[in-house]
Homo-oligomer: A and B are copies of this chain.
Amino acid sequence: MEYFSKDMDNLVQELGRLPGIGQKSAQRLAYHIINGDKERAYALSESIKRARDSIRYCKSCCTLTDEEYCPICASSERNHAQIMVVENPRDMGAYERVGKYNGVYHVLHGAISPLLGIGPDDIRLKELMQRLQGDVEELIIATNSSLEGETTASYIVKLVKPMGIKLTRIASGVPVGGDIENIDEITLLRALDGRVSL
């Protein structure tokens, strides 16, 4: 027991369960919450409960949303025959910020990881396969370039290939502005393999 208050110890413990929050950070956060404005603490507490209660997934692309369908899936201006598969809503947000993609998305909410015991049934793959029964021309696989992302990509390719839908993978290579000397070997190899003629 670090403090002479069970409620405080409990708060430190709960905060310490969050990803990337260690014991010291949890203590600092808890102390800030306790010593700060009461309204702020209530707002934080309430926002956690409300968000967890209200959270819904788009019936089509599975992203987080308040409505039955997210604004992208509900839009008639997007190309619904082009689906980009991403791991989570933040990746979707990143592409939306770029603003150049006019198709729709599919959010897997994770990636296959035998190491962490995450199999194909633990991510939103079934929902993707169902969507592919419809009128889909191209499936762009935009999972991460990590082991899990690549495993997931291969798995999807194996499932979708026989269906005759155009399958693409976002390019992997040296990031713009990246210093070649600081980039890992696998990325450099990918950049070489994926070289384009000028």
Contact = CB atoms under 8 A, between A and B. Distances in A.
A166 to B, nearest CB: 27
Contact of A58 (B4, B27, B38, B67): B4
A20 B25 contact: yes
A71 to B, nearest CB: 6
A34 B52 contact: yes
10 contacts: A3-B64, A3-B65, A4-B64, A14-B40, A20-B25, A20-B28, A34-B52, A34-B55, A41-B48, A45-B45
Interface of A: 2-8, 10-11, 13-15, 17-21, 25, 27-35, 38, 40-52, 54-56, 58, 63-67, 70-72, 88-90, 93, 109
